[in-house]
Amino acid sequence: MTHTIQVVILGLLLGGVYALMASGLTLMFGVMRIVNLAHGAFIVVAAYMAYLLFQGPGWDPFLSLVVIMPAMFLLGVLIYRFLFPPIESSPRFGEMTVLLTFAVALIVEGLLGFFFTGTFRTTDPPYSTEAILIGDLFIPKAQLYASITSLVLLAGLGAFLRLTRTGYAVRATMQNRTAAQIVGVNVRGVSTLSFGIGMALAGASGSLISFLFPFFPNSHWRWIAILLSLIVLGGLGSIKGAVIGALLLAVTAALISDQFGPTWSPMTFFGALFLILLIRPRGLFGQETRV
Amino acid sequence: MALLEVKDVSSGYGYGPDILNRVSLSVESGTAYCIIGPNGAGKSTLLKTVAGLLQPRRGEILFDGQPIGGMRPDLVLATGICYVPQDRSLFPEMTVRENLIMGGFLERDRAVLSDRMEQVFEMFPVLADRASQHAVTMSGGEQQMLALGRALMIQPRVMMIDEPSLGLAPQVADQIFDIIRRLGELQITLLLVEQNVVRGLAATDWSFLLDLGVLRLEAPSDEILDDPRIRELYLGRQLAGSHPPTDQGEES
């Protein structure tokens, strides 16, 4: 029993970080209908930033996060403003974003390989190998801190969306873009902001995974595959769904890995993806119809 | 001077052909207008172009003498022109109250907003009863009332309403039109597109007849209704009261 609780706790801690990664991705889809296949690549970019700041000035990844988030926000604003206007009026906008961001992911991967080589990297702050013992339960500090940070950031995102005027504008745009336009929301501005926020969340996730998982330029494929299955499970465009989907799947993956060996853990995500598409294609919290 | 002037405007969707073909018309303050015409005439396209949702491909649009053609929709709205589309475009997962708050998005003064919400609740008591209900759970008539109420939150000078009775039972449509007739009392200039031509003409002072993107005729609404040529030429089947046309197609 203790063992199972232990596995569930580890799954939940990891799920918190997955939730942070997935929330940015689902926000971008919700507001702009952009399927951002480069989200994983930008998470890895942020991990390299954290790595550089750790190796150079010796910054702790939690300190780096404070710098990386605004840097990635700005990068996101630039990317959105330069990359997307040419395809904006295309009747196949959704499909075009898949191709466009796929290309971006390849370019980013190539650049990372050029500058950092294919070697595995990681940051190893002191707490990355420490743990807290509560009775028989073993809680690794790195995962605990990362998870808490993720939850704080997600709560911040939730508060922004629920309580501020701009947050209302973002939610309105997610629910019905035309409606948002006719009540006076500048949807271009909201889109730029949301893309920036999504990138800032990728930045935060990257700083956190820098000490959770060793990474190299190619790692992002693994992340984006998992993230896409998470947000489809939760319902595309639903942040609540992304969070619940992430926690659910991370725990399931941990249990399966414990029972059948880690080889089967990634299968959880894709198995769940198949199931949800068969049973409930709009996901747990997806909107029934999209206008 | 006319309040709103559309001069030689062409417009359409994406890379498609011109749906609206060099239309010119002018709208006087305090008058109620109906835009009629068969399916595909460009009625909705005209409203969307004025609202800034579509870019005019040629020509200009003046409001109070200022050019507004091609401006962003939020900036057009800020000048006082609001648009109520035929699909109502509500925020499905927001409550009635939140939808109304969004309607007043451009008004930052909270006291003003809550006054206006009270006025909307007075006009539509059913919305007050449903204030905490999600828009998606309401009936078609209630949704239309919410769409109108939401538009009133910015106290517009011009209201462009697209097919308000679409999909509504006749009694419900009557209720909606009772409200629409009262817009004049609120100093609101009305531009109405309505599939039920009899109803639309009865609620307005002046009408424009569009056909295949071209303005064919304009006349006082009560005269258009009495003109046998018009009846036969454009509106025959609709006036005969058979099946109302479903105005979907490229305009939806």
CATH number of the domain to which A183 belongs:
1.10.3470
A89 CB within 8 Å of a chain B CB: yes
pLDDT in tens, A206-226: 999 999 999 999 999 999 999
Tell me, yes or no, whether A291 lies in a domain. Answer: no
User: Among B78, B87, B202, which Cα is nearest to B146's?
Assistant: B87
Determine the pLDDT at residue B244.
47
Residue ranges, chain B, pLDDT below 70: 228-252
Tell me, yes or no, whether A285 lies in a domain. Answer: no
Q: Tell me the chain B residues in contact with residue A168 when contact means C-beta distances shorter than 8 Å.
A: 98, 101-102, 105
Three-point CA angle B110, B114, B117, nearest 5°: 135
Per-residue pLDDT at A88 exceeds 70: yes
Determine the pLDDT at residue A33.
92
Tell me, yes or no, whether A290 lies in a domain. Answer: no
Determine the pLDDT at residue A266.
86
C-beta separation of B238 from B245 below 8 A: yes
Determine the pLDDT at residue B226.
75
Q: Hey, what are B84's tokens?
A: 């109520």
Q: Please give the Cα distance from A226 to A266 (Å, whole number).
A: 8
**Count of structural domains within chain A:** 1
Q: Please give the Cα distance from B3 to B158 (Å, whole number).
A: 9
Domains of chain B from N-terminus onward: 4-80+157-251 (3.40.50.300), 91-155 (no CATH)
Q: Please give the Cα distance from A198 to A204 (Å, whole number).
A: 10
Tell me, yes or no, whether A156 lies in a domain. Answer: yes
Determine the pLDDT at residue B40.
84
C-beta separation of B244 from B168 below 8 A: no
Length of chain A: 291
Q: How confident is the model at residue A37 (pLDDT cuts 50, 70, 90)?
A: very high
Tell me, yes or no, whether A265 lies in a domain. Answer: yes
Do residue A175 and residue B94 have CB atoms under 8 angstroms apart? yes
Q: Tell me the chain B residues in contact with residue A287 when contact means C-beta distances shorter than 8 Å.
A: 92-93
Determine the pLDDT at residue B231.
65
Q: Please give the Cα distance from B3 to A281 (Å, whole number).
A: 49
- Considering only the beta carbons, identify the residue of A89, A184, A287 that sits closest to B105: A184
Determine the pLDDT at residue A290.
45
pLDDT more than 70, % of chain A: 99
Which residue spans within chain B are E strands per DSSP?
4-12, 18-27, 32-36, 58-63, 66-67, 81-84, 158-162, 189-193, 206-211, 214-220
- Considering only the beta carbons, identify the residue of A184, A186, A287 that sits closest to B92: A287
Q: Please give the Cα distance from B3 to A81 (Å, whole number).
A: 36
Tell me, yes or no, whether A234 lies in a domain. Answer: yes
Determine the pLDDT at residue A288.
59
Mean pLDDT of chain A: 93
Residue B107 to chain A, least CA–CA distance (Å):
10
Determine the pLDDT at residue A285.
86
Residue with tokens 């007849």: B209
Q: Please give the Cα distance from B99 to B111 (Å, whole number).
A: 17
Residue B72 to chain A, least CA–CA distance (Å):
8
Tell me, yes or no, whether A17 lies in a domain. Answer: yes
Bridge partners, residue B214, by sequence: B211
Q: Tell me the chain A residues in contact with residue B77 when contact means C-beta distances shorter than 8 Å.
A: 182-184
Residue B90 to chain A, least CA–CA distance (Å):
6
Q: Tell me the chain B residues in contact with residue A165 when contact means C-beta distances shorter than 8 Å.
A: 105, 108
Tell me, yes or no, whether A49 lies in a domain. Answer: yes
The residue segments making up the domain with residue A73 are: 2-279
